Structures are given as C-alpha cells and as structure tokens.
C-alpha cells in the first residue's frame, strides 16, 4: 500500500473520529434535532375513564381540594397537567398548558380573582397561556431578566424545544420576577418559590407547606424523567432532590406535570416524598457506578416502579 493511500486512510479515520467525538459531545442537541417530528401531533381520542369533569371535549378539571384544581390535557400527546392555586385575593396558574386549546376560559370559569401564570420551565408544552392572563411571572435566575430588558422574553430554539411539534419559539411579556425562596401571599394561602434545576436550568417549583403540596412540573412525574436534552443536568437533579428532601414535610404530595403512559384512569399525576428519596438514591448509585442501565442514548436507569431516569453521557449532562 502506498504512503499516499495510508495517509488518506488515516485522514479519513481522523475525520470519522472527530465527527464521532463531536456527535457525542453535542448529543443533547443532535438528539433533539434528529428526533423532531417537525409537525404538531394529532389529538388522541378522549379517554373513557377520568377523575374530574370535562371542560369542552379537551380539558379535564380535577378538584384536589377547595382551593386547588388540576387541569389535565389527556388528549395531548404529552399528557400535561397544570394547576390552579387559589387564595382569597389572587390565584396562580402553575404551568400554562400546551396551547393546543385555549386554557384561559377554563381558568376564568374557576375563579374571578386576578391570576398570575408561571411556567415550571420554558419547554413548548408548558407555556401556552403565557402573556394571556392578568400577569405572567418567571423566576429570576440565570440571564432571563437581562434578556427581557424590554419587558418581553424571546425564547431560544433549545430552550423552547418546539422543533418537536414544528412550533416557532414565542415571545411573551413578563410582568413580574420571583426570587428563589420568595413567599407569595395569595390571601390566606402562601406558597414559596423554589429553584429546582435538573430538567432545565431555569425550572421552578411552588411549595405550599400548610397544604403539604409541592407543585414540581417536570422535575418528577410518573414515567421517564428527561435528563438528556439541552440544559439538563444530572448533578443539578441530585442537588435539587437533596434540597427538597431537607425542606418539604415527609407527608407532602408532589403534584406533577405529566400523567403516566396508558393509565387505567386519567387523573392528576401524584407522587410522594418516598419517590423523591428513591430518585436521590438512584442518582447517588449512578454517580457511584453501581446502577445498571439500558439503552445507548438516552441511558435508562430504574428508580422505582413509577419512574425511570433517562440521562445522557457524563460529559454533557454533568
């Protein structure tokens, strides 16, 4: 074999290796692009068994207690749930729906109080009604507030992740900024803003200590926890889990954002502090190298019977 052919083969091999390294390094972004449908998924048929009552033929309203309502979208492919948290003077809509149907008339049917809508995070399936109620709030972390210097925020491609449904990243007004640790008085009811990164760097949760309720969005829910997309961090997941365990009452109910796949009865997805402990234990086992996984990307680690942790390579989801 000539030296020229040898040099050519080495060059090709080097290029292939460089491409493989780049793909592995940027796996969250590559996965996002390659798995994108590029069009909105059709609505699923209405399920036969639901907890709560239908609002039109799309939303399901479930009463958690006299001041708390779960708003489900069982016909959306994400199986989303948002929560209306009501006080005597004002209310919070935690998560803003997918936007496949207008959630605002439903909210107005439940309360005439001023409503602040806040997303648990900025993915496409949680921001549908931002800018469409009395106030829109975000947590003041990272560079979000600096980016919204003119009073509105333009979401980025991988912050919004709308490429999965072929949706353009939106711009919306932001009326108020909440600090991590801030207590919000709704009138006879108080909730605390918690910064809970892991799924995304700007994720937030709301904790109602009196009602022993934690509204935690996509941080935890029955099913595969996504920790392999752009912005996800396994280290942040563990830190958040440990902070929550140190803070919340052990009898707290975790009201989460997505129902399990193929549930027997469609209902607000609830988890408990025992599930949070199981998540922390699984993350420690992953760090120690004692946990077994299936799949290549994402890697799936069992947590318990309710959840699996779906993560990427150690170097891109640190």
Q: How high does pLDDT run on average in the chain?
A: 92
With contact defined as beta carbons under 8 Å apart, do 51 and 43 qualify?
no
With contact defined as beta carbons under 8 Å apart, do 106 and 59 qualify?
yes
Percent of the chain residues past pLDDT 70, beyond the cut: 92
Beta-strand relationship, 213-217 and 253-256? parallel
Q: Is 289 left (phi over 0), alpha (psi -120 to 50) or beta?
A: left
Residue 132's CB is within 10 A of a number of other CB atoms, namely: 19
76-85, 151-160, 257-266: range with lowest mean pLDDT: 257-266
Residue 40's CB is within 10 A of a number of other CB atoms, namely: 17
Neighbour-count burial of 198, counting CB atoms closer than 10 A to its CB (0-12 exposed, 13-18 middle, 19+ buried): buried
Measured between alpha carbons, how far is 227 from 300 in angstroms, rounded to an integer? 10
Identify the pLDDT of residue 1: 52
Identify the pLDDT of residue 19: 35
Identify the pLDDT of residue 318: 74
pLDDT for residue 91 is more than 70: yes
Confidence band of 38 (pLDDT split at 50, 70, 90) = confident
DSSP state of 129: T
State the DSSP H helix or E strand holding residue 145, giving kind and residue range, or none if neither: helix 144-147
pLDDT for residue 11 is more than 70: no
Q: Is 111 left (phi over 0), alpha (psi -120 to 50) or beta?
A: beta
With contact defined as beta carbons under 8 Å apart, do 309 and 276 qualify?
no
Measured between alpha carbons, how far is 40 from 165 in angstroms, rounded to an integer? 4
Please name which of 305, 307, 306, 309 lies closest in space to residue 285, comparing C-alpha atoms.
Answer: 309
Query: 110-119 pLDDT, tens per residue?
Result: 999 999 999 9
Q: What are phi and psi of 7, to 5 degrees?
A: -60, -40
Identify the pLDDT of residue 14: 35
Can you give the pTM of this predicted structure?
Answer: 0.93
Query: 249-292 pLDDT, tens per residue?
Result: 999 999 999 998 888 899 999 999 999 999 999 999 999 999 99
- At a CB cut-off of 8 Å and minimum separation 6, what does 246 contact? none
Identify the pLDDT of residue 17: 31
Query: 170-225 pLDDT, tens per residue?
Result: 999 999 999 999 999 999 999 999 999 999 999 999 999 999 999 999 999 999 99
Confidence band of 315 (pLDDT split at 50, 70, 90) = confident
Rg (CA), the chain: 21
State the DSSP H helix or E strand holding residue 71, giving kind and residue range, or none if neither: strand 68-73
Measured between alpha carbons, how far is 255 from 81 in angstroms, rounded to an integer? 9
């Amino acid at each position: 074999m000539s030296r020229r052919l040898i040099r050519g083969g080495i060059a090709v091999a080097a290029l292939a290796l460089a491409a493989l390294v780049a793909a592995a390094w940027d796996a969250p972004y590559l996965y996002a692009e390659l798995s994108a449908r590029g069009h909105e998924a059709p609505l699923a048929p209405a399920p036969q068994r639901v907890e709560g009552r239908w609002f039109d033929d799309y939303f399901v309203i479930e009463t958690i207690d006299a001041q708390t309502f779960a708003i489900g979208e069982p016909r959306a492919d994400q199986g989303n749930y948002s929560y209306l948290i009501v006080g005597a003077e004002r209310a919070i809509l935690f998560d803003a729906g997918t936007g496949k149907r207008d959630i605002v008339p439903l909210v107005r049917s439940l309360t005439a109080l001023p409503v602040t809508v806040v997303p648990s995070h900025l993915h496409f399936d949680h921001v549908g009604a931002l800018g469409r109620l009395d106030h829109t709030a975000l947590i003041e972390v990272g560079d979000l507030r600096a980016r919204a210097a003119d009073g509105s925020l333009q979401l980025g491609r991988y912050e919004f992740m709308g490429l999965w449904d072929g949706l353009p990243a939106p711009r919306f007004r932001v009326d108020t900024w909440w600090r991590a640790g801030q207590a919000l008085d709704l009138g006879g009811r108080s909730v605390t803003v918690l910064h809970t990164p892991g799924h995304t760097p700007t994720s937030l949760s709301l904790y109602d200590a009196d009602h022993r309720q934690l509204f935690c969005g996509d941080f935890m829910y029955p099913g595969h926890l996504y920790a392999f997309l752009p912005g996800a961090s396994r280290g942040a997941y563990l830190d958040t889990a440990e902070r929550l365990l140190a803070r919340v009452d052990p009898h707290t109910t975790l009201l989460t954002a997505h129902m399990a796949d193929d549930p027997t009865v469609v209902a607000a997805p609830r988890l408990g502090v025992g599930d949070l402990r199981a998540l922390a234990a699984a993350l420690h086992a992953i760090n120690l190298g004692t946990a077994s996984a299936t799949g290549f990307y994402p890697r799936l680690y069992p947590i318990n019977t309710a959840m699996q942790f779906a993560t990427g390579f150690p170097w891109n989801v640190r």
